[in-house]
Amino acid sequence: MARAAGHCALLDNQPDPDVDRTCHTEDPIGMATLSQYQEPMKSILVIGLGISGYSVIRHLARQPVRLTVADTREIPPYLNSLKENYPDVDLVTGRIPLENLEEFDEIVASPGIELPASVMASKLVGDIELFARAVEAPVIGITGSNGKSTVTMLVHDMLLAAGQRVIAGGNLGTPALDLLEQERPDFYVLELSSFQLETVHSLHLVAAVILNISEDHLDRHKTIRAYTEAKLRIFRNAEQSVVNCDDDLLHKASLGTLNPIGFGLQPTDQDCEFGILEQDGMRILVHGNQQLIREDQLSIQGDSHILNVLSGLALVYASGVKLDNSVIQAAGNFRGLPHRCQMVGEYRGIQWINDSKATNPGATRAAIMNFKKPIILIVGGQGKGADFRNLGILIEQRVRHVILIGEDAEVIDAALSEYTERSNAFSLEQAVDMAVKLANSGDVVLFSPACASYDMFESYIHRGEAFAEIVAKRVQS
């Protein structure tokens, strides 16, 4: 708040560095006079009382604002914590007060909540926008349909190896606003979803990447164009953009961005700084003419992981950090994250792979491409409006049998009817039993659902853990 000449601003009892006096109760200015300088208290509605919404409440409760939180659930997850720690926050459960939205100066919606068109876009923000207003250290932003979490943690590890203080979070793990409570780092690395980017206006990034685009969340975005436009918002205030040269749509869309740095599974050129050199049958990751690391020195092989590493190296470079031996070694040592093409067992020559994080067809496509062996594919769940026909030709080439589970099993069955043999299972346990009978030595059983998990499980993590447990029990016996 601006301060009147010679007097302390409200809420500020510290000495004025420009005036040799402090504010005292006996000063000739009265509270009635002070009130004319006081701005009206801002009124904010927080929609959603899950992990993100509660993080917003904790952040805003430190500021002079009037808070209301609303959740369509009668008993939202953080209800007791809110009542115990923030009893002054107004609470509405079982509905969102759409009829009173004009009363609020700002509306903060949790990322997963879809609001009607009546919600004024000019008032709508999310936790990342609040983070952007408060952050004081450089931020690296990572989005895409697939690989976001992996690249976020890969960049975290490489920066750490380079001697930087770094904190990672956002759509991965710790909510972004909670990161601000830790000691200020040299870099924040944020995973950002399309939902979060929709309500971002002032996030300044030192480097930003869209890893890839494939059909996802069309139940929310309706069209692939709208989904892509939400992702492209990450480049709006970025100092440098990192661009996937193998994705024609993204490459063209990002040509107008500042200082694009390209990466891809191709030889390097002026558009693609980070790429691949093939030498004596071995692929080498390169930056321009500089050889960085061979594929066989990576802890994980396959095209999708090479792209992840190339994008991570490009982000570190774009952030002004030298790609020295410690950074390259960290890239080679990175072993990936759970539930992402994770081998959970090998029995009788059959590999069992948990790729439960594959919540869209693009992720399953990338997983299939990682294996040259015949595949038994377990797929299904909540399809979110995706078109599974795009998997057809690849499945015909690489997959020996598809086992279908979940809510949209019939939809997927119809989409793949021309391409391979299929079976339906009523549960994940039955699907594993079927795979045991179908798989031969040398095969891969790939659990890559291409769907959300909420029809049968609490989350993709719960789903992946269930698969690993079933495999351990059924297959070993």
Q: Which amino acid is at 470?
A: I
Q: What is the reported pLDDT for 225? A: 83
Residue-level pLDDT at 264: 97
Could you tell me the residue ranges of all domains in the chain? 42-125, 129-333, 342-476
Q: What is the pLDDT of residue 228?
A: 87
Instruction: Just give the CATH number of 42-125.
Output: 3.40.50.720
Residue 21 has pLDDT above 50, yes or no: no
Q: Quick check: 299 pLDDT over 50?
A: yes
**Does position 372 have pLDDT exceeding 50, yes or no?**
yes
Query: 166-170 and 187-191 as β-strands: parallel, antiparallel, unpaired?
Result: parallel
Residue 226's pLDDT band, with cuts at 50, 70 and 90, is confident
Q: What is the rounded distance in angstroms from the CA atom of residue 39 to the CA atom of residue 45? A: 19
SS3 call for 129: helix
Q: Which of 3-12, 34-43, 81-90, 113-122 ranks highest by mean pLDDT? A: 81-90
Displacement of CA 74 from its chain's centroid (Å): 28
CA distances from 343 to 182, 300, 443 (A): 34, 11, 13
Q: What is the DSSP string of 93-120?
A: ESS--GGGGGG-SEEEE-TT----TTS-
Share of the chain above pLDDT 90, in %: 77
Residue 2 clears pLDDT 70, i.e. is over it: no
Can you give the pLDDT at residue 18? 38
In this structure, CATH architecture of domain 129-333? 3-Layer(aba) Sandwich (3.40)
pLDDT of residue 112: 77
Residue 224: its pLDDT value, please?
81
Domain 342-476 fold is Protein-Tyrosine Phosphatase; Chain A (3.90.190)
Provide the pLDDT for residue 1: 37
How high does pLDDT run on average in the chain?
Answer: 89
Q: Provide the pLDDT for residue 32.
A: 46
Question: Which residues are designated catalytic?
Answer: 148, 171, 217
DSSP state letters, 308-339: HHHHHHHHHHHTT----HHHHHHHHH----TT
Task: Provide the pLDDT confidence category of residue 25 given band limits of 50, 70 and 90.
Answer: very low
pLDDT of residue 6: 37
